[in-house]
Amino acid sequence: MAPKPSDASGKTDQHIITRFAPSPTGHLHIGGARTALFCWAYAHGKRANGSGRFLLRIEDTDQKRSSEAAARGILEDLAWLGIDWQDGPEFVVHGRDARATDGKIGGDTRGVGPYFQAQRLGIYDAYIQRLIDADLAYPAFDTGEELDAMRAEAREAKRTFRYIRAADYDREASLARVAAGEEHVIRFRMPAEAVVVRDEVAGEVTFPYEELDDFIIRKRDGFPTYHLAVVVDDELMGVTHVLRGQEHLNNTPKHVALQGALTHEDGSAFGVPSYAHMPLIFNADGSKMSKRDKDKVAKKAVRQSGSEAVSGGDLPTEAELEAWLGDKTAQLPSDQLVRVAEALAIDLPEIDVEDFRRAGYLPEVVCNYIALLGWSKGDDVERFTMAEFCEKFELGQIGKSAAKFDREKLLAFNFDTIQVMEPTLLAERWRAWCERYDPEVATALGERMPQAAGAARQRAKTLRQLREPLGFLFVADDAIEFDAKAVKKVLHKNDGEGLRLLPELGEMLAAVDDWSPGSIEAAVGAWCEGRGLGMGKAAQPLRVAMTGTSVSPGLGDTLSLIGKASVLARIERCVATNALAE
Ligand code: GLU
């Protein structure tokens, strides 16, 4: 039997058990991550007093839409965010960038698994059978056409369609038809009374019987519907608190009605968990934050550029593109969408956790930001660690109104974090990111990654942007392209003053033994002082020689990262390439 539900204040003498129950139909949406985070925080917060558990269950009863790959992706996204689960599918974390420590997450220590609903059909059947035996559920044989006709009739009569068992329903005959192997669904007999849902956010919500009907609990394919499976599993897994998106509030009367009707094998009744439905998340313009937003942006770009650049190879075929462009609601598979965006060099709005990861956000920053979506402690503190969040978080602080996703704010959070991060940690995160999305950088930089990260971070808002100021490290010494303006201004001005300094600077640098940024800068500084020159007089020509432009990270870092031999080679080539015409 499920533990006793908590009282309205959320206090309980039982262990708090929360769960996240995604359907594996695609990548984890950022709103789903918010749900998971709140569940996780509540299980680890002060109410739980150190004994709470966060459970992960994969709701894959929709066979056509579910996939193993999507389930795996969701586990990986959660692990990356550092949202680990005590009960659930076993998962091994390798990533150095996950906040969860390396090792195993999940497992079935309480023996309430399996955690994939498709592996629990026998369990659901036993509960459904007891409902049928008690005539609280019944087989129905209506075909799709028959149901359509009933809906049309209701429409014509201007009433909402509700399926209610006919007064003359012949139970014996129906059971005989089932025994004879006829295809059917099982419907729950909704008791003819209003259902009251007590919600920690919405308060007490009454659903009149007139809005409820005999909904399906087992489909023709033998799989339970979401409503039945979720209620059975929450009970059997001991879930005490159901935190989920507001879109499920209207499902809750069905769940509460089922909890009133379902019984265990020993005849004992089901409990009712505490519910908290969280507000929706909207884009800044008030539209719903939907996976289709990405397609929308990509479609616009493809229409502008023409489809030639984005079809063929591992990109969609012409025909696929046409079908996609022609249908407002059509979506490309997400890996193809990424390739289309890459081919067009455009950024797509981040919607799924994977999008934020790819864009170079840090997992702790994403968690911090999404914690603010629909939750507030009532103070102005916006930056906190997840341990602090667990400590602060209470169900009563969840807001009722929709939350707005502010990308600029998230970006600012990420920027601030990158600026103050311990260099080796930043390098570790960056390496993990590069290994996944930009392996060339990790290979090319090798040991130099911490130094490169430190040198490049000043303007980087994301891990992805760390590469931008370091472009000169990924070009061969003899392939630097010189920017004409920089050459004119820095090297050729005043009769080639800058250019003339370069061979001397090369000689001086050749004698520097300690090739660290500090000692390089000290050597250049001393050299300038000896000649009564400002540091810029030497630094700018050197920058042009190293990068082809007059902008680069700090001079010491730039030269040190390039390496002594390459620095000397670049100086020599710069002088030869940019010689002043006689
Ligand atoms: N599988 C449902 C979903 O992904 C879970 C809803 C719930 O938390 O009950 O929306």
pLDDT tens digits along 409-462: 999 999 999 999 999 999 999 999 999 999 999 999 999 999 999 999 999 999
C-alpha dist (Å) from residue 366 to 19, 30, 82: 20, 9, 10
Of the candidates 350, 278, 339, the one whose C-alpha atom is nearest the C-alpha of residue 310 is 339
User: Do the Cβ atoms of 61 and 76 come closer than 8 Å?
Assistant: no
Asked if 567 contacts 509 with a C-beta cutoff of 8 angstroms, the reply is yes
Quick one: average pLDDT of 183-189? 98
Residue 25 in contact with ligand 1 by CB distance below 6 A: no
Pairing verdict, β 241-245 and 274-278: parallel
22 C-beta closer than 6 A to ligand 1: yes
Cα separation values, 123 from 46, 233, 241, 274, 518, Å: 34, 9, 22, 23, 68
The whole-angstrom separation of Cα 310 and Cα 72 is: 28
Cα 60 to ligand 1 centroid, rounded to whole Å: 10
Residue 449 CB burial class (10 angstroms; 0-12, 13-18, ≥19): buried
- 184 CB less than 6 Å from ligand 1? no
Range 460-476 average pLDDT:
97
Q: What percent of the chain has pLDDT over 90?
A: 89
Give the atom of ligand 1 at the shortest distance from the alpha carbon of 242: 8
pLDDT score for 312: 80
Residue 378: which pLDDT band, with cuts at 50, 70 and 90?
A: confident
| Cα 310 to Cα 100: distance, rounded to the nearest angstrom | 38
Residue 10: pLDDT band (50, 70, 90) is: very low
Looking at every residue in the chain, the average pLDDT score rounds to 94
Atom of ligand 1 nearest to the CA of 255: 9
Nearest alpha carbon, ligand 1 atom 5: 21
Distance 400 CA to ligand 1 centre (A): 19
Q: Two tokens at 265? A: 């094998």
Contact 244 CB / ligand 1 (< 6 Å):
yes
Instruction: Pick from 228, 248, 251, 278 the residue to mutate for probing ligand 1's pocket: most ligand atoms within 8 Å of its CB.
Output: 248
Q: Is the pLDDT of residue 25 over 70?
A: yes
- The pTM score is 0.92
